[in-house]
Structure 1
Amino acid sequence: MNTTTFTIYSKISELPANWDEVAAHNAFLQKPYLTVLEASAPSNMQCFYIGIYEHSELIGVALAQYLNLNKLESFGERDKCLKTAVRNFVFKNFASHVLFLGNNMITGQNGYTFNKEIEFKHISEVLVQCAAAITAYFKKQKINIHLVSFKDFYPHCADELKAFDFKDIYEFNAQPNMIFELSEEWKSDLDYVAAFSKKYRDQYKRARKKCDDIRIRELSLEEIITQETRIYDLYHHVAKNAPFNTFFLAKNHFSSFKKQLKNQFVLMGYFLDDKLVGFHTLLLNGTVLETYFLGYDSDVQKEKMLYLNMLYNMTEFGIQKQYKRIIFGRTALEIKSSIGAEPIMMSGFIYHRNKFINKYIGKIFKNLEPEVQWQQRHPFK
């Protein structure tokens, strides 16, 4: 690592010209997406963009996010219990300033990428050093970072990192990432439905019938801007009823996304009697289809099985466009497994900068992490 250095940037305009060439394999680390964050990040988030150099040549890029949880309107309103109240108190008082090395807004290994083979020894070293440098920056601003988290690593990467600088950092496994590996034999939605067992084929038919009078179409940038308030209200309703939140999107997030990524970003609107009652979003990321945020009217969702129909529509979009896999993320595990997604465990690493608290970080984390009981479904013959 004597020849490796890093530079931390706070503005997209400062990034090297060849940034996107290095980040070519991950849309979530390329300038258009990072520009979306700069223009419409949650109000309690500040982003940092890290260039990793070898002999002054850019060989890697990474993302870091600082979250001030004191600015959060709610940690989530779905669960009302003593454990939730205790968790909220702890976060407000002992973990309100959080630094993520990675992207806290999406699920998946999207925190860094290199354009050449790099040993995990060097990766672990540079990530830890970057965290220390950003922590020192905030200390100068009179802000004391409480928690540092390195987010979302697939098992083989986590195992490699633990052999080096991550060996003394607490590893945690939150809910799995639901990933759908699409069969190459599926050329249309008919092939997909034909692969279901009778029970799940019946579920598909029932859901589709419920949604007969819903009109679905992709929204242009102009339409997204026109519907911005309604889109945000639908998103916000779903987000605030999640079991746990660390941020809420800015109101202009979806229009900013469409402006920057154009055809790479898809927002599908669901209309009932010409009124927008739901939407889902997709990011086209090479051979991978990334599901992004969605929203819906809860009354319509219940009556029309709107969420399940959204999952089917995202899957059929992926099949029609011949994507290899769909990343469905961490929420609603059981219903996502019922349409074919499989759980893939991912690891994160976390430490508290107070040594006494960090000594018990494992016990504290297990007691604060919302428990999710779910049964995996197996929909195919």
Structure 2
Amino acid sequence: MEYSYSFKIVHSTNHLPSDWDALATSNIFLSKAYLTVLELSKPTNMNCFFIAMYKKDKLIGIALAQFLDLNKLESFGERDKCIKTVVRNFIFKNFCSHVLFVGNNMLTGQNAFSFSTEIEISTGIALLHQAELEIKLSLKKQGKKVHLTSYKDFDKKELEVFPEKEFDSFYQFSTQPNMVFTVSKDWHSFDDYIAALSKKYRDQYKRCRKKATGIEKRKLNFEEIVALEQTIYNLYHHVAQNAPFNTFFLTKNHFAVMKSELKENFLFYGYFENNKLIGFNTLIKNGNQMDTYFLGYDEKVQREKMLYLNMLYDMIAYSINKGFKEVIFARTALEIKSSVGAKPEEMVGYIKHSNSLINSKMDTLFCYLEPVTEWQERNPFKD
């Protein structure tokens, strides 16, 4: 690599280069405001590293890396009680508990880096790989040996520009797809979306809305989020604990910090029954796409009122009515997201174990690290 390229690893957003945001314009998740959220309310088992890349003295790339210590987790997820889960948890605890992600483990999609036009992407990724090695060295000096290194959530085309020399020892993996809802050019309002549904799925929509009678939806401001912080956390934590697998849990103040830093780009919707908060969902405006974020609900109410499906329709309605082009629904609950019109997009990445013997068996090990989800794709639209 040319000697004129260099990088700097920054540990606080206060020390980011003044022109950092100039390279984050196309992705809010690399902006200083969002990285400040991470700094102030990141999961307790996570450390963040902000990477500034230079050509001579000019900033030409920005990136994010996260170190997770899975030994600090209360649980990996409590839904699946089977022998495979027991084996997976044993493997994680003993061989994979220290993980370095180049990217953002809390999100789905390419939120790892952004480069200016003054550097080839493959050269930028090679420079990022050097930064990754330096982060691992600094963690080792603190007595934290990284077991797994992962570059996560790229589409196949993006992976083609990764330099072969740096990544030939990595295992290329495919994860659960990212569920993406594309707004048709023919839809100018939510009513147009409903009209495009086939009879079966229009009936599903009507039934779902009928079930939600008595539920009031309200957009909450910063003060209201703070006032309801404990209830919000309990609802989130219930959903998170019942996920098949977790690598982190949010902190109690996370949503308040999100609102404080991202302001009108972060939307928090509370669902109330008899003035009691029984569920919530969150959205993040990211250019012309809407990213769904974390949610929570009371399981009993969710079943009775089809609350989760109602939330999906509400997110779609807001996004269409406000002119967004896509809704990023991320992973989990693939089939129900498919039933409202989201399509799966394959996500790939690279992963490597520090132990060369274990690394040579990564294809077998990965089956335990990333449990396969069986699901059936739906098409809710008229042919």
Residue 126 of structure 2 corresponds to residue 125 of structure 1: yes
Q: Look up the match of 2:52.
A: 51
- Offset, 1:81: 0.2
Which 10-residue stretch deviates more, 121-130 or 314-323?
A: 121-130
Distance 1:193 1:276 in 2: 28
Structure-2 residue corresponding to 1:95: 96
SS in 1 for 2:259: helix
* 2:18 aligned residue: 17
Q: Residue 81 of structure 2: SS of its match in structure 1?
A: coil
SS in 1 for 2:312: helix
Does the residue aligned with 2:217 lie in a helix, a strand or coil? Answer: strand
Q: CA deviation at 1:293?
A: 0.2
* Aligned position for 1:62: 63
Give the C-alpha shift of residue 121 in structure 1: 2.6
The answer on whether the counterparts of 1:124 and 1:164 sit within 8 Å (CA) in structure 2 is: no
Structure 1 unpaired stretches of 5+: none
Q: Distance in 2 between matches of 1:180 and 1:348?
A: 22
121-130 vs 223-232, greater mean Cα deviation: 121-130
Distance 1:115 1:158, change over 3 A: same
The 5-angstrom pairing of residues 227-246 of structure 1 reads 227-246=228-247
Indicate if the aligned counterparts of 1:150 and 1:348 stay in contact, CA closer than 8 A. Answer: yes
Check the 8 A contact 1:48/1:63 in 2, yes or no. yes
- The 5-angstrom pairing of residues 191-270 of structure 1 reads 191-270=192-271
For 1:307 and 1:175, locate their aligned partners in 2 and report how far apart those are by CA, in whole Å. 20
Are the equivalent residues in 2 in contact too, given 1:138–1:145 (CA < 8 A)? yes
Corresponding residue number in structure 1 for 2:187:
186
Contact 2:154-2:347 within 8 A present in 1 as well: yes
AA partner of residue 25 (structure 1): S
In structure 2, the residue matched to 1:353 is: 354
Coordinate RMSD, CA, aligned: 1.0
Task: Tell me by how many angstroms 1:363 deviates.
Answer: 1.2
Shift of 1:217: 1.1
Separation in structure 1 between the aligned mates of residue 154 and residue 128 of structure 2, nearest angstrom: 13
Q: What corresponds to 2:109 in structure 1?
A: 108
Offset of residue 117 of structure 1: 5.8
Does the 8 Å CA contact 1:75/1:244 hold for their aligned counterparts? yes
Q: Distance in 2 between matches of 1:213 and 1:115?
A: 51
Equivalent runs, 1:2-41 vs 2, <5 Å: 2=2, 3-41=4-42
Runs of 4 or more consecutive aligned structure 1 residues displaced over 6 Å after TM superposition: none
Unaligned runs of 5+ in 2: none
CA separation of 1:120 and 1:163: change in aligned 2, threshold 3 A: farther
Counterpart secondary structure, 1:289: strand
Amino acid across the alignment from 2:73: L
8 A contact 1:124–1:166 mirrored in 2: no
- The one-letter amino acid of 2:299's match is S
Contact 1:311–1:339 under 8 Å retained in 2 = yes
Secondary structure of 2:251's counterpart equals coil
Alignment TM-score, normalising by the size of structure 1: 0.98
Q: Secondary structure at the match of 2:162?
A: helix
Q: Structure 1 residues 363-372 or 232-241, which shifts more?
A: 363-372
Q: CA deviation at 1:162?
A: 6.0
1:174 alignment partner, SS class: strand
1:7-44 CA-to-partner distances (Å, cap 9, x unmatched) read: 10000111011111111111000011000000000000
What is the percent sequence identity of the aligned residues? 55
Partner residue in 2 for 1:75 = 76
- The structure-2 alpha-carbon separation of the partners of 1:21 and 1:124, relative to structure 1 and needing over 3 Å to count, comes to closer
- Provide the C-alpha distance between the structure 2 equivalents of 1:217 and 1:184, rounded to a whole number of angstroms: 29
Q: How many angstroms does 1:115 deviate by?
A: 2.5
Aligned to 2:320: 319
